[in-house]
Amino acid sequence: MNRKKTITLGDKIFARVTRNGRTIFNYVTEKVATMSQLISELRIAMKDVQGLVMIHIRNYHQGWGDERPLMLYAQKVNDYEVAGRNSGGRSAGLSDSQEVSNSRMLFPWETH
């Protein structure tokens, strides 16, 4: 029997994030209703982590577990970093200390 792995609001979800076999983050929640919401919560909670990680998910109420890779990217400080760039190489309205590094590749949703 192949049951679909779903999440319902109120299910107790355990998520363990590992990198190279070491646990770097544990998360428990009952406030997500979809896998997308869970991934979003994990991204927010681990905003300082970058790179490829593995997430191990366990739905305690429905009795299933799963694991999947997740790529975490650097978080931009604000929308001015991308949209506010001018031809002079400086961000509009930002000081030198807030200027964005030109070495970071932009994602498609950041270009317009």
More confident residue, 47 or 101: 47
pTM score, whole prediction: 0.64
Encode pLDDT of 7-35 as tens digits.
999 999 999 999 999 999 999 999 999 99
Encode pLDDT of 81-112 as tens digits.
444 444 444 444 444 444 444 556 777 777 66
Average pLDDT over residues 47-53: 92
**What is the secondary structure of 24-52 as a DSSP string?**
EEEEEES--SSHHHHHHHHHHHTTT--EE
Would you state the pLDDT for residue 12? 96
Tell me phi and psi for residue 96, to 5 degrees. -60, -35
Report the C-alpha dihedral over residues 9, 51, 98, 106, rounded to 10 degrees.
-90
Whole-angstrom distance, CA of residue 16 vs CA of residue 70: 12
Cβ pair 23, 67 in contact under 8 A: no
